[in-house]
Amino acid sequence: MKDRFDFEVVDLDDADSALVIIDQTKLPNVTEFLHLHSQTEIWDAIYRLQVRGAPAIGVAAAFGIYLAAKEIISELKKASDGKNFEFIEFSDRFKKASDYLNSSRPTAVNLSWALKRMGTVVSTCKGDSPDEVISKLKAEAYAIKQLDEDTNLAIGENALSLLSPCMGLLTHCNAGFLATTRYGTATAAMYLGQERGYGFHVYCDETRPLLQGARLTAWELSRSGIQTTLLCDNMAPSLMREGKIDAVFVGCDRVAANGDTANKIGTSYVALAAARFGIPFYVCAPSSTIDGSIPNGEAIPIEQRDGSEVTESWYERRMAPEGIDVYNPAFDVTPASDITAIITEKGIFRGPYDFTQMN
């Protein structure tokens, strides 16, 4: 697949000891890249959705904890006059830094998955020199990034096998290029189809309250030449009734063992409408998003966010009464019964789901 973009969503500037991201809160009007050096800056960027999307968060966390390890080792070497550092102290401080980053977004399992992979590397480094530890962590962070790119491309090929030319597709939130390292999950088949002449017409829910569909998905798809139409979230059933939607593709932040999925708030509403009109509803999820420790959707932790996102964000002035209570969950759960199939890089899975058979 040819690159559709001339920048990296998440990258490492090792010489500057910085995590480099595009600030997604400024899109589509301003393209600004941030160089984040401290763990506090990286935590804030994840929490404030300057970098967002489960796969992109995982890669950002991998680079972020690598930078934390560099800083910890530098401090320990200074304290020992340049001699080999104390591994146990390094390991303890590394874990604290990892736990801190992991607290930024509790629902997206890729965050904890990537940090766990980096922690596993540390557990094998006892007896290594400081430079060897840093080298191994850097290699693992880049491996996580490459895996995401390869995974998304495989998801796209699997999803495209379910589609025909000239279909109308609906997507919610942003599970595209900007939510990953390249291609996206829910959008990967759309980009492949664009290259191969499928002529898809993609409809994007605006996705309140943070407008990821309007600001991000509509921006990236339209600039790639895909026929794109934006709609308010509550307009999807009307489109379905008119017969303009042939399939729905969404991403997700966590898949429970039974196939329930957590994705951006409003996804379950789209799934209900698709079921009512007999439209296939597909969830595109890297296998790293499947959390076998969570039995069902009821056990998935749902992040509650500040009410100002509903009452003030994206408005020139406040658009709700002062003091009003606000319900603002970042995600909702779509039950497995409303999902036609879960598309991973390892294949297409249909209910009843048994991910233990995944190779």
> Which residues are annotated as catalytic?
253
* Residue 189: burial class (beta carbons within 10 Å; 0-12, 13-18, 19+): buried
